[in-house]
Amino acid sequence: MSRQKIILWALILTCLASFTVLLSMGSNTYREMPPIPSQVISDNGRILFTEEDIQQGQMAWRSMGGHQLGSVWGHGSYVAPDWSADWLHRELLAWLEIRAQGQFDNSYDALSAAQQSSLQAELKADVRRNRYNPETGTITLSDTRFDAIKMVQTHYLSLFGDDPELQPLREQYAMKEGTLPSLQRREDLTAFIFWSAWATATDRVDQPGVSYTNNWPHEPLVDNLPTSSITVWSILSVVVLIFGVAALAWYHSTLKHDPLPTPAKEDPIFSHQPSPSQRALGKYFLTAIGLFMLQIVLGGITAHYAVEGQQFYGIPLSDILPYSLTRTWHTQLAVFWIATLWLATGLYIAPALSGGREPKWQKLGVNLLWLALLVVVLGSMAGEWLAVQQVLDIDLSYWFGHQGHEYIDLGRFWQILLMVGLVIWLALVTAAIRPALKEQNDHKPVIWLLYVSVVAIGLFYGAGLMMGKHTNLAMAEYWRWWVVHLWVEGFFETFATAVIALMFVRLGLIRARSANAAVLFATLIFLSGGIIGTAHHWYFTGTPTSVLAWGSIFSALEVVPLALIGFEAYEQYRLRNAASWMTNYKWAIMFFVATAFWNMFGAGMLGFLINPPISLYYVQGLNTTAAHGHGAFMGVYGMLGIGLMLFCLMGLSKGRGWNQKLLKWAFWSMNIGLMAMLVMSLLPVGIIQFFAAIDHGYWFARSPEVLQSELVRQLVWWRVPGDILFAIGGMFIAMFLFGLVKASWAAKRARKLATA
């Protein structure tokens, strides 16, 4: 059996085994997730919350932006607190104060160390004891805890309303006045946040000392400390990483590289005229960059809310565009514009692989899909504005407004439309690429791998539809990360690897046989860690402790290929001078090189900074996560999307209006700006929070005492130079596209005059 077939079979078996494990983790999570009680009562029978209160509270949380205003279980945004950690800490302090007054007739802070220690022991026993009765579905609380919860509830009712006394705190949290104007929604919200906090400190029935969220967040008052599993699997993940890097380096050293083929004297792409459907793709690229520019503007506004929580340089912008909305649009547009570029690339490359042949109605399908894209983008953004402004009722908000889950925030109706659009895209690519799949040629394995990734992209977004209105948050997080990690980081990565290889083969720069082996092996290495590695997002989301083992080991394997990605970067970099006509593709290749760099730095180094359980235990939801997110999402997928766009645009424009200087300035401005944003602001702030979480508790790292401290506010302002430089790079890309459009119009006018 050839080496290529061995790798192919290894890839198939790896995917089957990995998805078996992934589905098994989902099944275990469903059985062991934190239960939603039928009611929460006190020892003397007072009813605190019901199941309906908690479920409606989750819907209220989703309607106001969900993950986009603070976080729950560490997932969400970074300015407002993590509500589960904040509630837990406030409840614990209230409990101690009530008992101190009742037992010692004094405030807790005035007690002796021995008295405080005695009360803390009682507190831990009360809070950690699991009093959920599975037969009745009831959670029973002590009368002291019931009263403490009532005190915290009063605070939250005022915070999410418009109580003037809490206006300064709302501004520090970047919350609009009257976030939830309805008293009923605020009361329901407190039920949901209580339940999320209850799960973080309540011992599992079969694992004393381990809460439903594996003792996250760090809260010394009730001994919410790292478990032995968190520590052991973190150490083993580092060992696996070192072994994996060494093994891959050894493998690379044994490879015999075929000599590169002699390039053609002229650009092979120039000899092919774009098909009608390919020419129709120009508007996709214009739309994508338009969305990119809007995302940059919204990113600047969102970042500014960290220092002026309700204003933008004195303008009361939060009344119209509050933080939760600008951040929703900022993150959602990142998915939209990058996915648009990648989907357009798929529609461009499919006819090219089939020799320019395409089905009769391909152009019509491409145009209709673009219109559908506009409807989904604009419709979902309008619905999210209406939801955050609390114009819609709860049900309408779910269907047409805001689902509250980061990266899949759009209302369920728009989500279904987007899924339909992806299926249409899959059908269009299938129709165009079918002749290529039937042909016998040297690069057929890569074409089939490309097509398999196209199918996965078209269908796996449907995982986001597996969660409903009242799905337990543990299962909602399980399915959400199928979309965010597998759909975006997994199958789009495979798609891009295959597309780049096929582009270089088509240009005659690498041999098809070399491309087959390299792409199949790269995909095998990536997916062997990437599929099961999804579990590192689930460490503390109500999943069983076995997730710590799977997630830590396989997320370490995700980093292995990134550690040696410099080989790939060098190979791509040297192709820019393979032939004189390759100068046309210089900056497309440079964006691929940048992708490799950010894969190593943003996804690899910053990713592994937060991936081991012991690290993520303290830094989940801190600005270290934001640093990784920006470095990986924009650095890897954004740069890659731009590189793919430039390759396609060269084929469409034939070099007319091609401005190398604008591309050069765009490349360096965006990459330097992104790096400055990370190292001058996001990463330093995250490290400050890291220390705070270890020394005082997670709640403190997310509190205004840290985030509104003079040093952190100064670091937030230091982000401005990088933001401006990055925005200038985006403007250069937009100017470059405008130049292409202008040249295209001029060429059309010239042809009309010539035939007149």
Domain span holding position 53? 38-225
Q: What is the mean pLDDT of residues 400-419?
A: 96
Establish if 746 belongs to a structural domain: no
Confidence of residue 671 (pLDDT cuts 50, 70, 90): very high
The rounded distance, in Å, linking the Cα atoms of 475 and 472 is 6
Q: Is the pLDDT of residue 598 over 80?
A: yes
Q: How many helices (H) and strands (E) does the chain have?
A: 31, 8
Does residue 145 contact residue 152 with C-beta atoms inside 8 Å? no
> SS3 of 85, please?
helix
The rounded distance, in Å, linking the Cα atoms of 166 and 650 is 56
Q: Is the pLDDT of residue 647 over 60?
A: yes
Confidence of residue 505 (pLDDT cuts 50, 70, 90): confident
Question: pLDDT at position 568, please?
Answer: 60
- Structure tokens, 138: 């009831």
Q: Which residues is 47 bridged to in the sheet?
A: 41
Establish if 534 belongs to a structural domain: no
Which of 34, 59, 22 is CA-nearest to residue 472? Answer: 34
Specify the pairing of strand 138-141 against strand 39-42.
parallel
Q: Is the pLDDT of residue 367 over 70?
A: yes
Establish if 561 belongs to a structural domain: no
Question: pLDDT at position 576, please?
Answer: 63
Does residue 452 contact residue 445 with C-beta atoms inside 8 Å? no
The size of the chain, in residues, is 756
pLDDT, tens only, 224-278: 999 999 999 999 999 998 998 888 888 777 766 666 666 666 666 656 788 999 9
Establish if 58 belongs to a structural domain: yes
Establish if 220 belongs to a structural domain: yes
> SS3 of 406, please?
coil
pLDDT, tens only, 96-109: 999 999 999 999 99
Question: pLDDT at position 257, please?
Answer: 64
Does residue 47 contact residue 146 with C-beta atoms inside 8 Å? no
pLDDT, tens only, 3-46: 667 777 888 898 899 999 999 999 999 999 999 999 999 999 99
Does residue 630 contact residue 682 with C-beta atoms inside 8 Å? yes
Question: pLDDT at position 445, please?
Answer: 80
Confidence of residue 600 (pLDDT cuts 50, 70, 90): confident
Question: pLDDT at position 284, please?
Answer: 97
Question: pLDDT at position 255, please?
Answer: 66
Question: pLDDT at position 567, please?
Answer: 61
> Which stretch of 47-51, 361-365, 599-603 has the lowest confidence by average pLDDT?
599-603
Q: Name residues whose C-beta falls within 8 Å of residue 262's C-beta, 6 or more positions apart in sequence.
A: none
Question: pLDDT at position 244, please?
Answer: 86
Question: pLDDT at position 627, please?
Answer: 96
Q: Which residues is 49 bridged to in the sheet?
A: 40
Question: pLDDT at position 409, please?
Answer: 95
Establish if 90 belongs to a structural domain: yes
Confidence of residue 55 (pLDDT cuts 50, 70, 90): very high
pLDDT, tens only, 531-572: 999 999 999 999 999 999 999 999 888 877 766 655 665 665
Average pLDDT, the chain: 91
Establish if 106 belongs to a structural domain: yes
Establish if 434 belongs to a structural domain: no
Question: pLDDT at position 562, please?
Answer: 66
Question: pLDDT at position 501, please?
Answer: 77
- The structural domain count of the chain equals 1
Q: Name residues whose C-beta falls within 8 Å of residue 414's C-beta, 6 or more positions apart in sequence.
A: 376, 379, 380, 383, 400
114: DSSP letter: H
Q: Is the pLDDT of residue 368 over 90?
A: yes
3-state helix, strand and coil shares in percent for the chain, rounded to the nearest 5: 75, 5, 20
